[in-house]
Amino acid sequence: MKKYWIKLIFKYGMLGLILVWATMFIYDYGRKSYEEYVNRHENDIEWIEENIEFVEDYKIGDNIFVVEIPDTLDISYDLYQKVVQKKIDQLLIDNYRISSPLILYDPFLENEKSVNIYFHTGEKYKFEYYVTTDSIATNEDLVYQRVLDAGGNDLLQSKHYYTLTGFTPGKRNNLLIRILNENDEIVQSENFILNIPGA
């Protein structure tokens, strides 16, 4: 009886080892095949453009998009920037408004505490924003950061394309944005919640 159990344990032990080895072999083979497939296309611009895309990341917030790129794709930063800018230009064919702007989380991989925001207005307006991790209700005197030109002067624009900084990773961030006319009168304001990924 004892020999029977020893044989049974040995038999199923060997079967288990074979299954583990087969699983590891299949996984390793698949990973290597995928890496070879990606590496074959590193200089294929059309393939790279098809495989780098913006996808909505609900963990960060509603209608917040991030860049999705194959893990093993090794391309130069210049090429990455070129492809991402082309993707953004394609997205901007749509007419985004201040109430529903295009918001991209750190699309150029330059600052993990930033987002890019894009929207259009019929007339030219100034733009300013405020970022906080506190409740907005507790902030009575908000000091907005106004977007200025290189000379430090107010920008009046109808195409609003900005990089916004000052977000706190790993926290719930309130983003308040608003547009103002040339007399500094508030025309419209909006609020967005962004859960910026932790470091």
Residues 136 and 144 sit within 8 Å (Cβ to Cβ): no
SS3 content of the chain, % helix, strand, coil (to 5): 30, 30, 35
Residue 89 three-state SS: helix
Mean pLDDT for the stretch of residues 150-158: 93
Q: What angle do CA 100, 79, 198 make, to 5 degrees?
A: 55
Does 138 score more than 60 pLDDT?
A: no
41 vs 34: CA distance, rounded Å = 11
What is the structure's pLDDT at 25?
Answer: 65
Does 158 score more than 70 pLDDT?
A: yes
Per the model's pLDDT, the better-predicted residue between 153 and 38 turns out to be 153
Does this model's pTM top 0.85? My answer is no
What is the structure's pLDDT at 104?
Answer: 98
Structure tokens at 120: 């259009």
Cα–chain center distance at 92: 16
How many other C-beta atoms are found inside a 10 Å radius of the C-beta of residue 28? 10
Mean pLDDT for the stretch of residues 148-160: 94
With a CB cutoff of 8 Å and minimum separation 6, the contacts of 90 are: none
Q: Which residue has the tokens 């130069």?
A: 76
Nearest to 76 by CA among 103, 105, 109, 104: 109
Over the chain, what is the mean pLDDT?
A: 86
What is the structure's pLDDT at 14?
Answer: 74
Q: Tell me the chain's radius of gyration from C-alpha atoms.
A: 25
What is the structure's pLDDT at 128?
Answer: 97
Residues 86 and 63 sit within 8 Å (Cβ to Cβ): no
